[in-house]
Structure 1
Amino acid sequence: MIRPTLVLVLLTLVKPISSLAGLPETIATIQPSVVGVGTYNRLSERPYNILGTGFVVGDGHYIATNNHVIPAILESQNNEKVIIYAGKGNAAKVYNAEIVTRNSIHDIAILKIEGLPLPALHLSSKMVREGEVYAFTGYPLGAILGLYPVTHRGIISSITPIVIPARNEAELTAKRIKQLREPYIVYQLDAVAYPGNSGSPVYDPDTGEVIAVINKVLVKSTKESMLTDPSAITYAIPIKYLRDILTKLP
Structure 2
Amino acid sequence: MFRTLVFSFFKLTSLIFIVSNVHAHSIEAVVAKIKPSVVGVGLYDALGAQTHQLRGTGFVFGDGSLVATNYHVVSHDLDPKVVQYHIVFSGSGRAPNIHRAEIIAKDPIHDLAILKLDTKLTPVVLASDEMLNDGAEVLLTGFPIGAILGLFPATHRGIVAASSPDVIPSVNSNMLSNKLLEKLKNPYLIYQLDITAYPGNSGSPLYNADNGEVVGVLNKVFIKESKETVLEKPSGISYAIPIKYLKVLANGANL
Question: What letter matches 2:145 in structure 1?
Answer: L
1:105 to 95, 105, 109: 109
The one-character-per-residue Cα deviations of 1:150-176 (angstroms, maximum 9, x if unpaired) are 000101112111126878765654323
Alpha-carbon distance change, 180 to 86 in structure 1, aligned in 2, over 3 angstroms? same
Equivalent-residue separation in structure 2 for 1:97 and 1:63 (angstroms): 9
| Partner residue in 2 for 1:82 | 86
Equivalent-residue separation in structure 2 for 1:158 and 1:237 (angstroms): 13
The one-character-per-residue Cα deviations of 1:21-40 (angstroms, maximum 9, x if unpaired) are 41111111111100000011
Where has structure 1 moved over 4 Å in runs of 4 or more? Answer: 16-19, 164-173, 227-230
Gaps of 5+ in 2: 1-18
The one-character-per-residue Cα deviations of 1:168-223 (angstroms, maximum 9, x if unpaired) are 76565432331112101111111111111000001112211001111116xx6xxx
| Partner residue in 1 for 2:195 | 191
2:123 to 120, 125, 132: 120
The one-character-per-residue Cα deviations of 1:23-77 (angstroms, maximum 9, x if unpaired) are 1111111111000000111111210110000000111111000001114301221
Q: Give the TM-score taking structure 2 as reference length.
A: 0.81
Partner secondary structure for residue 26 of structure 2: helix
User: Would you say the 8 A contact 2:143–2:200 is kept in 1?
Assistant: yes
Deviates more, 1:89-98 or 1:162-171: 162-171
| Partner residue in 1 for 2:5 | none
Question: What letter matches 2:133 in structure 1?
Answer: R
| Partner residue in 1 for 2:59 | 55
User: Would you say the 8 A contact 2:95–2:150 is kept in 1?
Assistant: no
Alpha-carbon distance change, 241 to 19 in structure 1, aligned in 2, over 3 angstroms? farther
Equivalent-residue separation in structure 1 for 2:54 and 2:169 (angstroms): 35
1:200 to 194, 198, 204: 204
2:156 to 148, 152, 156: 152
User: Would you say the 8 A contact 1:133–1:204 is kept in 2?
Assistant: yes
Partner secondary structure for residue 81 of structure 2: helix
Partner secondary structure for residue 47 of structure 2: coil
RMSD: 2.2
Alpha-carbon distance change, 209 to 174 in structure 1, aligned in 2, over 3 angstroms? same
Alpha-carbon distance change, 188 to 43 in structure 1, aligned in 2, over 3 angstroms? same
Alpha-carbon distance change, 90 to 163 in structure 1, aligned in 2, over 3 angstroms? closer
Within 5 Å, which residues of 2 pair with 1:213-232? 213-216=217-220, 231-232=235-236
Alpha-carbon distance change, 82 to 205 in structure 1, aligned in 2, over 3 angstroms? same
Within 5 Å, which residues of 2 pair with 1:153-172? 153-163=157-167
User: Would you say the 8 A contact 1:165–1:180 is kept in 2?
Assistant: no
The one-character-per-residue Cα deviations of 1:60-119 (angstroms, maximum 9, x if unpaired) are 11100000111430122111110000101145211000011121111001000002x111
Gaps of 5+ in 1: 1-15
Equivalent-residue separation in structure 2 for 1:45 and 1:172 (angstroms): 35
Equivalent-residue separation in structure 2 for 1:164 and 1:215 (angstroms): 12
